[in-house]
Amino acid sequence: MRVLHFYKTYLPDSMGGIEQVIFQLCESGARHSVDSTVLTLSNNPAPGAIQIRQHQVHQARMDFQMASTGFSYSVFKQFRELAAEADVVNYHFPWPFMDLVHFFSATKKPSVVSYHSDIIRQRYLLKLYRPLMRRFLDSADRIVAASPNYFHTSDVLQEYRDKTRVITYGLDKSGYPQPEAERTEHWRKQVGDRFFLFVGVMRYYKGLHILLDAMQGLNYPVVIVGAGPLEVELHAQAKALGLQNLHFLGRLGDEDKVALLELSYAVVFPSHLRSEAFGISLLEGAMYGKPMISSEIGTGTSYINIHNETGLVVPPSNPQAFREAMRTLWENPTRAAEMGVKAEARYRQLFTADEMGRKWTELYEELLEEKSLSYA
């Protein structure tokens, strides 16, 4: 079975949460006889296909961007050619330009929309985009949400209940590097081996300003891995608050990230807006058996982290509540360790890449069988 994935950014140019999901989909699908290809945009596209482990990546030149949406003139031709070779097209939503490519290409292949997130930030532009969005979602054969929480709290998805399925994201722990002892010891000397850890891009919805406010009055060590548009602002906030036991480490490679995950005491994830639809780095914390602190925003974060079971869930945008959750875990190491054990067990039960690949393969097969019967 051949599946074409279509999204605005992907490896090797970009590695965010959605890119990680597409990567895991392609790699886990390969173990279930699904041959995956990714079509994406790039400022400097490679002349031919790029081989990334078990799947190929094709890049079209990105000609310009507007409202975080990439546009490309050449992608129409590439999409038509690649879609013609595929059995199923898997669109990754939201990306308004993708809707235009879909309609102008007039492909008749079975289609699935991976619905990663509602459109949250561009509310005014959403009013203009809504008619196209509805037509696009109407045309899809299936829509897939990543958690029951998001499905039940999305007004858009509630309009498509009959054709929406829930398949959670999954990670393959064996694909993560095992850090060498010297690297782990390096970080142990730098930050210790009992600290709260945040991993992620410094974006507006990540709530790092809430975490910094929560640190007032506490002397617990906190390590922040990542960079992004709010980096200068967050450094200035930390300085103004006089926070002493805070370590900004910037963007790090996977081996360093794993070393810090293994050393950490707990994972903090203060995202406070629905733009945080799932939380891949939160799931990584569960995968490594860490208790978690997150906020209730009606998305997949509260499907990964179950309050009082795998960690603590607090109201969003509430530094005081976040501070108390940090205090609770720090002062109760036995309880925190028990939560970490349950977090890893929940990962193994629900969130492995193999389980995700199996469910997606079943969905693709169901869709192809349905189409074949309709043509019979």
Q: Is residue 79's pLDDT more than 90?
A: yes
Taken in order 39, 44, 47, 53, the sign of the CA dihedral is negative
Nearest Cα residue to 288 out of 350, 332, 201, 347: 347
Domain shared by 130 and 187, yes or no:
no
357 burial (CB, 10 Å; 0-12 / 13-18 / 19+) is buried
Whether the CA torsion 50, 55, 60, 64 is positive or negative: it is negative
**Could you tell me if 221 and 139 lie in one domain?**
no
Contact present, 296 and 273 (Cβ < 8 Å): no
- Are residue 188 and residue 128 in the same domain, yes or no? no
Q: How confident is the model at residue 127 (pLDDT cuts 50, 70, 90)?
A: confident
Identify the burial level of 340 via C-beta atoms within 10 angstroms of its C-beta, where 0-12 means exposed, 13-18 middle and 19 or more buried: buried
**266: three-class secondary structure by DSSP:** strand
Q: Which amino acid is residue 45, in one-letter code? A: P
Q: Are 297 and 270 in contact (CB under 8 A)?
A: no
Average pLDDT on 327-351 reads 98
Q: Which pLDDT belongs to residue 68?
A: 78
Strands 196-199 and 222-225: parallel
Do 179 and 127 belong to one domain? no
pLDDT at residue 224 tops 90: yes
Into how many domains does the chain fold?
2
- At residue 324, the pLDDT reads 98
Same domain, 142 and 114: yes
Q: Does one domain contain both 140 and 222?
A: no
Residue 236 and residue 292 in one domain: yes
pLDDT value at position 16?
82
Residues 209 and 291 both lie in one domain? yes
Which residues does residue 55 pair with via DSSP β-bridges, in sequence order? Answer: 52
Question: What pLDDT does 121 receive?
Answer: 73
Residue numbers of the domain that contains 276? 174-350
Confidence (pLDDT) at 375:
56
**Distance, CA of 276 to CA of 218 (rounded, Å):** 26
Q: Output the pLDDT for position 374.
A: 65
Residue 157 sits in the same domain as residue 92: yes
Q: How far apart are the first and last CA of the chain?
A: 20
Segment 151-209, tens digit of pLDDT: 999 999 999 999 999 999 999 999 999 999 999 999 999 999 999 999 999 999 999 99
359-376: pLDDT as tens digits: 999 999 999 999 887 655
Tell me what pLDDT residue 373 has: 72
Task: Say if residue 279 is exposed, middle or buried (CB neighbours under 10 Å; 0-12, 13-18, 19+).
Answer: buried
367 and 316 part of one domain:
no
| Residue count (the chain) | 376
297-325: string of b/e by CB count within 10 Å (b at 16+)?
bebbbbbbbbeeebbbbbebbbbebbbeb
Confidence bin at 256 (pLDDT 50/70/90): very high
* Dist. CA 274–CA 278, nearest whole Å: 9
- 275: domain CATH number is 3.40.50.2000
Averaged pLDDT of the chain: 95
Same domain, 13 and 119: yes
Please report which helix (H) or strand (E) contains residue 286, including its range: helix 280-287
Q: Averaged over 68-80, what is the pLDDT?
A: 95
Query: Cα dist. 355→250, 274, 369 in Å?
Result: 32, 25, 21
Max distance between CA atoms of the chain, in angstroms, equals 71
361 shares a domain with 269: no
What pLDDT, in 10s, does the model give residues 288-337?
999 999 999 999 999 999 999 999 999 999 999 999 999 999 999 999 99
